[in-house]
Amino acid sequence: MDNYLPILIVFTLATAYGLWYQRSRGKLKNKSSRLGKPALTANEIGQELGSRVTLVQFSSAFCTPCRATRALLTDITADLDDVVHVDIDAEKNLDLVRRLDVRSTPTTLVLNGAGVEVGRAIGAPKRADVMATLNGIK
Amino acid sequence: MSITNVLKFNTTEDVKLLDARGPRFGALLTTIVLTAILLTGSLPLLLWQLGVFALGAFAGPQASPYAFIYRKFVKPRLSGDMPTEDSRPPQFAQVVGFLFALTATISLLADVSSVFTVAVGFALAAAFLNAVFNFCLGCEMYLRIARIRSAISMRKTPEDSYNLPNL
């Protein structure tokens, strides 16, 4: 029985974590743009903000879903001239990463026209969710 | 949209692409082998898995014996689109696996069974998560490590001590 206990613990914890992981990754959470929360500027993200929405993606080299996310967001923003997609190498911008509390990649922030974060997705977001969020921002 | 469509967007970086199903099949075999190691405490089996991780970590995921088994016996039976992925994320996972297996090997030789159990347990959890939930270890770990590393190196510079980064 001694030998089975560690196995039991590992599989139980890993399964619980895995279920949470699968549920949480890719979900786009909308945030209320609370007053006093500092906006991001074009200078900080290295590119002009979109006039309505800016999608700020943080990526890293050891990240499989980052490429799919980049492709999806590039594709979505291609037809929209008031929405901009920026892909930032998280490792080279650690100060910004700390300030925004980005912990894993890909993480995508949804900024409104003023540069205030109104949504965030950790993991690769789904096309329908991104479209719904974009449509909700005037 | 399949992942293969991503290819055309990837023009700036020179990346090596793999069949994404290969590393996941490898994670399944790794899960089985590590379970056996945790149950039996077998040194030969642990040395085998250490060697597998070493090949995957230093020669690339395609060089692993599990990738060979995948190409030889599994891939010919699969049909449909081949999802691709950059070789660096699975290689990162192999490096982490190698470090855990190395820790486990040293503690088994030194007869420290608690460290052995924990090290194999972590490697097993990561392999299992990868196989079953398509867990991306590099996504979750790499940025956290980079943040900790830079925070430590900044703390070594005395003039920055007023402005400590909080990891």
CB of B117 within 8 Å of any CB in chain A?
Answer: yes
- Residue A72, domain extent: 26-136
In a domain, B81, yes or no: yes
Task: Identify the three-state secondary structure at position A108.
Answer: strand
Chain B residues touching A76 at Cβ < 8 A:
none
Shared domain for B59 and B126, answered yes or no, is yes
In a domain, A97, yes or no: yes
- Mean pLDDT across B147-151: 91
Residue B13 has pLDDT above 70, yes or no: no
* Domains in chain A, number: 1
Shared domain for B91 and B146, answered yes or no, is no
Cis preceding linkage at A106, omega within 30: yes
* Domains in chain B, number: 2
**Which residue, among A128, A137, A135, A138, has the nearest Cα to A28 in the 3D structure?**
A128
Task: Identify the three-state secondary structure at position B70.
Answer: helix
In a domain, A123, yes or no: yes
Instruction: Return the DSSP state at B167.
Output: -
CB of B85 within 8 Å of any CB in chain A?
Answer: yes
Shared domain for B146 and B101, answered yes or no, is no
pLDDT for the residue numbered A35: 54
ipTM of the complex: 0.89
In a domain, A31, yes or no: yes
Beta strands in B60-126 (DSSP E): 84-86
Q: Which of A105-119, B122-136, B152-166 has the lowest mean pLDDT?
A: B152-166
Residues facing residue A57 across a β-bridge: A87, A108
Shared domain for B141 and B65, answered yes or no, is no
Out of B135, B136, B144, name the one closest to residue A18 (CB): B135
* Residue tagged 């190395």 (tokens): B102
From the centroid of its chain, how far is CA B70?
17
Chain A residues touching B3 at Cβ < 8 A:
67-68
- Mean pLDDT across B118-129: 98
Per-range mean pLDDT, top range of A54-58, B14-18, B153-157: A54-58
Kindly report the backbone phi and psi dihedral angles of residue A88, in degrees, each rounded to the nearest multiple of 5, phi listed first: -110, 135
Confidence of residue A82 (pLDDT cuts 50, 70, 90): very high
